[in-house]
């Protein structure tokens, strides 16, 4: 059996596995989550072939990764994510790489360093 190349289309099960979308109750892949997101987000456009099978390209998978990040990790609402995706000025890759928590941690550390510098100068 040959292995698929990175840029090959992926099935819905393969995408659920890539994203680690697992049903916490029974441990099965949550493909229904992807089908739901497909209805909610116009940016998710899989190719649908015979037998209603969905196939996702690399670009669509990246969009889904961003949606998952914003919903699951950032705690945004579906409406909030829709607005974010519709906003052309937003760079989602940057959003994924720098979380709000990281910004808050850095700000706290900088404040502590600033206080230490002021104390040393005294």
Domain definitions of the chain by residue range:
10-90, 98-122
- Please check whether the domain covering 10-90 is classified as CATH 1.10.1660.10: yes
- Decide if 57 contacts 106 (C-beta within 8 A): no
Q: What is the per-residue pLDDT across 38-88, written as a single tens digit (0 to 9) for each?
A: 999 999 999 988 888 889 999 999 999 999 999 988 899 999 999 988 885
| Local confidence band at 96 (pLDDT 50, 70, 90 cut-offs) | very low
How is residue 75 written in tokens?
A: 């705690």
Q: What's the pLDDT at 97? A: 47
Q: What's the pLDDT at 7? A: 67
DSSP string, 50-88: GGGEEEE-HHHHHHHHHHHIIIIIS---HHHHHHHHH-T
């Amino acid at each position: 059996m040959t292995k698929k190349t990175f840029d090959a289309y992926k099935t819905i099960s393969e995408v659920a596995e890539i994203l680690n979308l697992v049903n916490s109750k029974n441990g099965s892949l949550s493909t229904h989550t992807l089908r739901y997101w497909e209805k909610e987000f116009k940016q998710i456009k899989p190719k649908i072939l015979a037998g209603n099978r969905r196939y996702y390209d690399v670009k669509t998978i990246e969009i889904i990764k961003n949606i998952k990040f914003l919903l699951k990790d950032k705690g945004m609402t579906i409406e909030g994510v829709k607005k974010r995706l519709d906003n052309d000025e937003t760079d989602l890759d940057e959003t994924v790489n720098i979380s709000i928590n990281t910004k808050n941690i850095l700000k706290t550390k900088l404040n502590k360093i600033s206080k230490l510098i002021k104390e040393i100068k005294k």
